[in-house]
Amino acid sequence: MRRIAMLALLMTGACSMNPRLDIPKPPVAASYPDAAAAEPASAAAIDWRTMFGDPRLQALIDLALANNRDLRVSTLNVEAARAQFRVARGAMLPQVDANGSYTRQRIPTSTAAAGIGGATGGGTGTAMPSGFEFGQYSANAALTSFEIDLFGRLRSQSQAAFERYLASDEGRRAARIALIGSVVDAYLAERLAAEQLALTERTMADWNMSLDITRRQHEAKQVSGLELAQAEGQVQQAAADLAAGQRALAQAGNALQLLVGAPIPADLPAPIPLADQPIMTQLPAGLPSDLIANRPDIRQAERELVAANADVGAARAAFFPRLSLTGLFGFTSLAFDNLFKGDNRTWSFTPQISQPIFHGGSLRGELRLAKVQKSIAIANYEKAIQTGFREVADGLAGRATYKRQLDAQRKAVDAAERRTRLSDMRYRVGFDSRLELLDAQRSQYAAQQAMLELRRQELSSATGLYRALGGGDEGRAPSK
């Protein structure tokens, strides 16, 4: 019992060689640019279904979360890291194996021990003129080279593996958020392509009607060939835009299907136009300090930093002695019936200590490598914070400017439509040339296309801000 207590004390009393870890302060400003003085709490807590209210978009996100291959790989990476942690943790515990064996051997008479035949007890040995032949049974439980972690080497390795497991889970969460944002962007791109194509088709139909009128007027000698050529060129340009729009719509659909990871069902809810998309665009950002708690990619970088610090501790502990134990307890007999009887017990106990003396500089190289990797982890952690700060700042700049830009563009569309109506009226009564009407029509078409693109950019910017704030994360990492 004393030996067991002493062994438990040695197992739990290991010191740690991990250096003190001071998490760097966020290398960013205390507040965001373009943020209100009393900015509300971060929008990261908003559920993605609340953020994206389009039922068709919600169904696509659900499909992507279930089928996307990149997210599936991230999930499998978490399982692999968890298995690696179990391997590292298992090295801290004793490994006990049960063994059973039977050995049959022959000893020459010249080397046979005196009286060995009488030691069988069960008559299993057979004496022969040239030697002695017998069988031996054994059963034992063996403790194989159990290292007592006096200086915390195994504990540091286990901690590093656990932190990397947590980091991989944070990486999966970051991949989940990125996937949601990518699906939204691809959906908006598809909606933009579809609506721009519909606008091109309507415009081309109007321009074809105008071209028919111009042709009849030209046949009646009422307009010149120059005006007819201008009308034909306008229609052909619309035809080129139509082909480009069809290509853009097909490619946008392909990109969306790749993200979803499965064929898009035909029974999805009808899409909502870009102008009416129920996506929240005025999101609160909170403070930069919220990013550390809300963004899984920053938490992932922090976990990697803790793991790198534990690697330094393991490399330090490698310079100190290692104490290992090997033990065996079992039974040995020449007869199977007597294996567990009498004085057939056997045991052995072998403590061993080893001290590194000369390893050709490999231990110092491993320690130096661990320290450099820790410095790299610090830089990656700080860069993750700076990247998150920049992404939020970009989103806030969009939040502050897109509404004003959209209002101005909407007025520009209204003005272009009014100009087209007036130009058409003046052309019909002969006050304006055909060239003036064509220019007005082209300006209206360009303004409407720009309006659709600008609305898509506003929604995409809001999505980017939501993603930058850590929105879409379903929870925290698991415990040990």
Domain assignment present for 4: no
- Smallest CA-to-CA distance from 168 within 92, 83, 87 is with 83
Per-residue pLDDT, 118: 43
Q: Please say whether the beta carbons of 290 and 44 come within 8 A.
A: yes
Per-residue pLDDT, 1: 42
Together in a domain, 134 and 184: no
Per-residue pLDDT, 336: 77
pLDDT at 8 over 60: no
Domain assignment present for 252: yes
Together in a domain, 238 and 334: no
Domain assignment present for 38: yes
Domain assignment present for 99: yes
Together in a domain, 259 and 397: yes
The pLDDT > 70 percentage for the chain reads 90
Domain boundary, last residue among 336, 354, 372: 354
Together in a domain, 242 and 350: no
Q: Please say whether the beta carbons of 92 and 160 come within 8 A.
A: no
Per-residue pLDDT, 4: 47
Together in a domain, 338 and 212: no
- Please, what is the end-to-end C-alpha distance for the chain in angstroms? 30
Q: Please say whether the beta carbons of 178 and 184 come within 8 A.
A: no
Per-residue pLDDT, 201: 94
Q: State pLDDT tens for residues 236-294.
A: 999 999 999 999 999 999 999 999 999 999 999 999 999 999 999 988 888 888 888 88
Together in a domain, 180 and 86: yes
Domain assignment present for 310: yes
Together in a domain, 80 and 103: no
Together in a domain, 45 and 131: no
Cβ-count burial of 100 within 10 angstroms (0-12 exposed, 13-18 middle, 19+ buried)?
Answer: exposed
Mean pLDDT of 179-207: 94
pLDDT at 191 over 90: yes
Domain assignment present for 117: no
Together in a domain, 294 and 334: no
Q: Please say whether the beta carbons of 81 and 164 come within 8 A.
A: yes
Per-residue pLDDT, 397: 92
Q: What are phi and psi of 279, to 5 degrees?
A: -105, 130
Per-residue pLDDT, 36: 65
Cα–Cα distance list, 326 to 87, 94, 142, 143, 381 (Å): 20, 10, 8, 5, 43
Domain assignment present for 460: yes
Domain assignment present for 10: no
Rounded Cα distance, 244 and 194, in Å? 11
Q: How confident is the model at residue 409 (pLDDT cuts 50, 70, 90)?
A: very high
The domain that contains 174 carries what CATH number? 1.20.1600.10
Q: Find the domain containing 460 and state its range.
A: 17-92+151-320+362-468
Per-residue pLDDT, 185: 96
Count: domains in the chain: 2
Cβ-count burial of 27 within 10 angstroms (0-12 exposed, 13-18 middle, 19+ buried)?
Answer: exposed
Q: Please say whether the beta carbons of 369 and 154 come within 8 A.
A: no
Per-residue pLDDT, 478: 47
Per-residue pLDDT, 374: 93
Q: State pLDDT tens for residues 314-333.
A: 999 888 888 888 888 888 88
Rounded Cα distance, 412 and 75, in Å? 48
Q: What residue has token string 């169904």?
A: 59
Per-residue pLDDT, 111: 67
Together in a domain, 231 and 303: yes
Is the C-alpha dihedral spanning 219, 221, 223, 224 positive or negative?
A: positive
Least confident of 104-108, 125-129, 160-164: 125-129
Q: State pLDDT tens for residues 326-362.
A: 888 888 887 777 777 778 888 888 888 888 888 888 9
Per-residue pLDDT, 7: 52
Mean pLDDT of 134-139: 82
Together in a domain, 35 and 143: no
pLDDT at 417 over 90: yes
Q: Choose between 8 and 170: higher pLDDT.
A: 170
The domain that contains 137 carries what CATH number? 2.20.200.10
- Smallest CA-to-CA distance from 393 within 288, 472, 282, 292 is with 288
Together in a domain, 305 and 450: yes
Q: How confident is the model at residue 197 (pLDDT cuts 50, 70, 90)?
A: very high
Per-residue pLDDT, 113: 52
Rounded Cα distance, 153 and 324, in Å? 13
Mean pLDDT of the chain: 86
Q: State pLDDT tens for residues 45-91.
A: 889 999 999 999 999 999 999 999 999 998 898 999 989 888 888 88
Q: Choose between 144 and 12: higher pLDDT.
A: 144
